[in-house]
Amino acid sequence: MMTDNFRGAALMAASMAAFTFNDALIKLVAETIPLFQMVFLRGVSATVLVALLAWRMGAFARPIPRADRGLVALRILAEVCIFIPFIIALTHMPLANVTAILQAVPLTITLAGALFLGEAVGWRRWLAILVGFAGVLLIVRPGGEGFNIYALLALAAVAGITLRDVVTRKLSADVPSLQIAVWTALAICCLGFVGSLFRPWAPVSAFEGLQIVGASVFILGGYLFSIMVMRVGEIGFIAPFRYTALVWGLLLGWVVFGDWPDGLTLLGSGIIVATGIYTLWRERVRPAG
């Protein structure tokens, strides 16, 4: 019989797979459809699906507490600001490279928690953070031939995600997560609509339409699985399975786009994953160590 820990690990892996498949479909559709048109169309579909899920789970029955509304607005704004550099980096860089850079987020959140939230971080985790950032530099390679504005945009997305998650930590438990997801999806949909006004729309084939709907289903699945993860098992056991996203990024990048990272990128990815897992383990066994 499957234990809660293994059930949680399976849900975390499923969540990471869903998010990465969503990214791959977005990248694929953006090759033939203007970027913001695609963002708007996926936004419409995703907003409808997330709203139906939120309604089904009763998320609209509770209003957002007045004390949290400013933080919720800041979080949604951060999400919109993250989306712009992320989507541009995703459509111009190999999928595995973008996915690998995003795996630095647990390290940056630990760093932000120490600097801005007063959370205790011992020398071992500080060392892990520094080594993890060395892994990021191996992927980005400032001054190298492959270094470009899109690598910087991926790093900007990491910074934005860190800000978003720090804000999320300050929200009270009374804020319905799915309701935030609805307003976020709607905000990104509006962003796509405004951006799409500045370029002529391209016709959308039936196959492209299915890909856009598929991306919406995957983003919904990713969010649903990520909610379910928080309800089973021990987070210290489950959290490292978020790095399965890198496996999916490598696989989909190779199969769908014919991209395979070079040796330094793979080495940097391995360093990020190893230090991230170590950091999560230290948080579990010795929060101050």
pLDDT at 19 over 80: yes
What's the mean pLDDT in 267-285? 79
Give the H/E segment covering residue 17.
helix 4-29
Do the Cβ atoms of 186 and 47 come closer than 8 Å?
A: yes
pTM of the model: 0.83
Most confident of 122-126, 197-201, 265-269: 197-201
pLDDT at 288 over 60: no
E-strand stretches of 91-225: none
CA dihedral angle for residue 88, residue 91, residue 94, residue 98, rounded to 10 degrees:
40
Do the Cβ atoms of 215 and 25 come closer than 8 Å?
A: yes
Return the higher-pLDDT residue of 34 and 231. 34
pLDDT at residue 145 in the model:
61
Which residue type, as a one-letter code, is found at position 224? L
pLDDT at residue 70 in the model:
94
How would residue 267 be classed by pLDDT, with cut points 50, 70 and 90?
Answer: very high
E-strand stretches of the chain: none
Q: Which residue has the tokens 């499957």?
A: 2
**What would the DSSP string read from start to end of 225-277?**
HHHHHTTSS-HHHHGGGGGHHHHHHHHHHHHHH-----HHHHHHHHHHHHHHH
Phi and psi at residue 58, in whole multiples of 5°? 75, 25
- Kindly report, residue by residue over 53-64, the tens digit of the pLDDT: 889 888 898 889
- Kindly report, residue by residue over 110-148, the tens digit of the pLDDT: 788 778 777 777 778 788 888 888 888 888 877 666 568
pLDDT at residue 286 in the model:
57
pLDDT at 207 over 90: yes
Give me the percent of the chain exceeding a pLDDT of 70. Answer: 91
DSSP state of 202: P
Q: Tokens for 20, please give them.
A: 């990465």
pLDDT at 242 over 50: yes
- Kindly report, residue by residue over 69-114, the tens digit of the pLDDT: 999 999 999 989 999 999 999 999 999 899 989 888 888 887 887 7
- Kindly report, residue by residue over 170-192, the tens digit of the pLDDT: 888 788 888 888 999 999 999 99
Q: For residues 39 and 223, what is the distance between their CA atoms, to the nearest angstrom?
A: 18
CA atoms within 13 Å, Cβ hemisphere of 161? 19
